[in-house]
Amino acid sequence: MKLSRYFLPVLKDISSDAKIKSHQLMLRIGMIRQSSAGIYSWLPLGYKILKKIEKVVREEQDKSGAIEMLMPTIQSSDIWRESGRYESYGEEMLRFKDRQDRELLYGPTNEELITQLFRDNIKSYKSLPLMLYHIQWKFRDEIRPRFGIMRCREFLMKDTYSFDLSKEDAQKSYFRMMLCYLKTFQKLELKAIPTKAETGPIGGDLSHEFIILADTGESEIFLDKNILNFDPSNLKYSENSFLEISNHYSKYYSATTEMHDKDKFEKITTKKSQMIKKGIEVGHIFYFGQKYSKPLNAIVNSKDGKNVNVYMGSYGIGVSRLVGAVIEAKYNNNIMKWPKSITPFHVAIINLGKKNDSISKKAFKLYDELLKNNFEVIIDDTENNPSNKFKNFDLIGIPFQIIVGSKNKDEEFEFKELGKDTKVVKIKELINILEKEYKIVK
Ligand code: ATP
Ligand code: MG
């Protein structure tokens, strides 16, 4: 991509409404623009990152055994009346009518719709266990949208639903998804802490929020430091792993303000291991048993011929909120560095030459070579002054930069990983480094 042909409207001044660094950065480097309160357009750079996060989330869902589908954004009020949530969901639900006067709503979540699909299509225990997910836009008419895409009204969510024949099986699905979430956040280079949570309007009796520590977070979290020492990367999806996870996260304390029990906290943690931090909720998982399968009559035939209301759970990740959460976690001292798994481009070429001079020609030759080798490359071919170019690319956050100026010999380039020292490399070495970093196989 040539920067001169891209749509990347960088701002010098941003609105004072942008209070936190992710909101400020996303506006400054042209990732998003607000179209009305709490509703945003995703410009090319922001959309590229959003799509990459979605891809990581999807890959990990698929590995866990969940199956992707797509439900609509617009739902009928009928099934919400059946579950009893049409009235109880409150003002956050956007309700409207079509020309036939039918009551519709913009889905804030999908428990009802998925339960209806299950009820109408699955009758036997032989189809269980089943996990279905989709990645779809949601609308919640938040009373106070704020912090950009962190708390907005229209947002992208991945939601998974599990169906099992018994409570025991459903709890295994719950921990399967918990492991999947731990792996997903690890891929995004985030440390997300599962924290016991209230079940809210979704209901049920087992629930964890996944919280990322960040000073600008809206949740306060009380925890035992030891809870952070858990590495899910080598765990397979097995009952042993589920047990290991369950043991670890029930052994060490973590709670948000709503669930915090001061006496218990003092009792089971030491002064040295106590932490009180701010955090961002990036995911939330629920086991709610038969809460929806009973009113909506989602029944399967068990092996011994009995009718059983299916046991369910639901599991959400705020895909669009994660874009902001990653920035909150990774953006410091005017340098943003995207995790390699979601960087918008693999590498940036900062061309310090003028149009068609020998430096520019050298930069474009490198650009072509990198494209040929399957890298996603952006080249700054604008007439901006060098210090502006450097400043912008530190904010855009592509982890690797190649600076093409007059300093180096013809076949040599200045190469730098953001936040580290520059080194001089030849093109072969450059390609090798990038291939290793991104594990690109030809
Ligand atoms: P919160 O407590 O932040 O309002 P919630 O508990 O209402 O969120 P869930 O129903 O658990 O949200 O939704 C699953 C995930 O969707 C959340 O963990 C969060 O990451 C994301 N999410 C929820 N509401 C919003 C919003 N208004 N804007 C952006 N993302 C959101
Ligand atoms: Mg929640």
Is-cis flag, bond preceding 386, omega within 30?
no
CA of 108, closest atom in ligand 1: 10
| Pocket-testing residue among 157, 160, 258, 314, ligand 1, by greatest number of atoms within 8 A of Cβ | 157
Would you kindly state where each structural domain of the chain is located, as residue ranges?
3-330, 347-438
Residue 282 Cβ contacting ligand 1 at under 6 Å? yes
Ligand sitting nearest the alpha carbon of 317: 1
- Choose which CATH entry (3.30.470.10, 3.40.50.970, 3.30.930.10, 3.40.50.800) describes domain 347-438: 3.40.50.800
CA of 198 to the centre of ligand 2 (A): 8
In the prediction, which pLDDT does 185 show? Answer: 98
**Cα 279 to Cα 210: distance, rounded to the nearest angstrom:** 9
CA of 130 to the centre of ligand 2 (A): 23
CA of 285 to the centre of ligand 2 (A): 8
CA of 284 to the centre of ligand 2 (A): 5
CA of 366 to the centre of ligand 1 (A): 43
CA of 157, closest atom in ligand 1: 16
Looking at the whole model, is its pTM more than 0.85? yes
Residue 283 Cβ contacting ligand 1 at under 6 Å? yes
**First-residue to last-residue Cα distance in the chain:** 21
CATH architecture, domain defined by 3-330: 2-Layer Sandwich (3.30)
Residue 316 Cβ contacting ligand 1 at under 6 Å? yes
Find out whether 377 and 357 touch, Cβ atoms under 8 Å. no
CA of 207 to the centre of ligand 2 (A): 9
Hey, whose CA ends up nearest to atom 5 of ligand 1? 284
Measured CA to CA in angstroms, residue 204 lies from 160, 337, 390 at distances of 16, 39, 51
Find out whether 125 and 301 touch, Cβ atoms under 8 Å. yes
**Cα 42 to Cα 278: distance, rounded to the nearest angstrom:** 27
Q: Using alpha carbons, select from 364, 284, 352, 268 the residue that is nearest to residue 322.
A: 284
CA of 203 to the centre of ligand 2 (A): 11
Question: Which residues make up the environment of ion ligand 2, defined by Cβ < 5 Å?
Answer: 284
| Pocket-testing residue among 161, 199, 321, ligand 1, by greatest number of atoms within 8 A of Cβ | 321
Hey, whose CA ends up nearest to atom 13 of ligand 1? 316
| Pocket-testing residue among 155, 156, 220, ligand 1, by greatest number of atoms within 8 A of Cβ | 155
CA of 197 to the centre of ligand 2 (A): 8
Hey, whose CA ends up nearest to atom 16 of ligand 1? 318
b/e 343-358 (16+ beta carbons within 10 angstroms → b): bbbbbbbbbbbeeeee
Residue 284 Cβ contacting ligand 1 at under 6 Å? yes
CA of 218, closest atom in ligand 1: 3
Intrachain domains 3-330 and 347-438 with the same fold: no
Hey, whose CA ends up nearest to atom 11 of ligand 1? 284
CA of 10 to the centre of ligand 2 (A): 33
Per-residue model confidence as pLDDT tens for the chain (442 residues): 999 999 999 998 898 889 999 999 999 999 999 999 999 999 999 999 999 999 999 999 999 999 999 999 999 999 999 999 999 999 999 999 999 999 999 999 999 999 999 999 999 999 999 999 999 999 999 999 999 999 999 999 999 999 999 999 999 999 999 999 999 999 999 999 999 877 666 555 689 999 999 988 988 999 999 999 999 999 999 999 999 999 999 899 999 998 999 999 999 999 999 999 999 999 999 999 999 999 999 999 999 999 999 999 999 999 999 999 999 999 999 999 999 999 999 999 999 999 989 999 999 999 999 999 999 999 999 999 999 999 999 999 999 999 999 988 888 999 999 999 999 999 999 999 999 999 865 5
Here the tokens at position 392 are 């912008």
In the prediction, which pLDDT does 441 show? Answer: 59
